[in-house]
Amino acid sequence: MKYIVKTSGKLCHYQFSNIAEIEVNDIEFGEMDYNELEHTFLLDRSSFENQKISIDDEVKFEIFNDSDSKILEFYSKDIEQSDGGGSCFCPEPQYNEEYNNCLGSFSYFKGGGPIFEFETNDELKVENFSYSSIVFELDDGEITLMDDFYYNNKKLENTDFDESWGGNRIVKIWKENGEVYDFNV
């Protein structure tokens, strides 16, 4: 039987770009607003970009059958982190050789998150689901997002995202000299 898993919670769209020292100066001295910064450095220049749901906040999982009837509902606190998968990312140039100066943007939205599909003839049980995480180690703490979602240790295909709204944005530059610049959005 075919199943669809809908998630809801706090969705995070993240982008990182390597920028030159002169570009950092232009940003710090207020020579551009967020729209110009986004257009110039993030839209087509991101070296690392994706959208994931936050495990730092509770994630709701709803599983529907092909008749669109809800079969199972559970929360991230009810399932375990998978032994396989998972990763860590640090944007600070002193710890990440790929960046001279790292511009990072985190945009948060509430509501729907990733949608997954899978097929099985087994009875669905909460304990058969797990997830891996991606952790962003930032200067002021960590952000933990669900990287992959598994059923019986098999990675499920992320087929779409549900509707989300509102949100807030965090934009920072981790500079080569170790300083951090917070861009007020």
Give the start-to-end residue ranges of the domains of the chain.
Answer: 2-183
Per-residue model confidence as pLDDT tens for the chain (185 residues): 999 999 999 999 999 999 999 999 989 988 888 889 999 999 888 999 999 999 999 999 999 999 999 999 999 999 988 866 678 999 999 999 999 999 999 999 999 999 999 999 999 999 999 999 999 999 999 999 999 999 999 999 999 999 999 889 999 999 999 999 999 86
Task: Report the chain's C-alpha Rg in angstroms.
Answer: 19
Q: Which helix (H) or strand (E) holds 12?
A: strand 2-19
Helix/strand/coil for 47: coil
Closest CA to 108 of 9, 7, 2: 9
- What's the token pair of residue 95? 């710890």
Tell me if the pTM is above 0.95: no
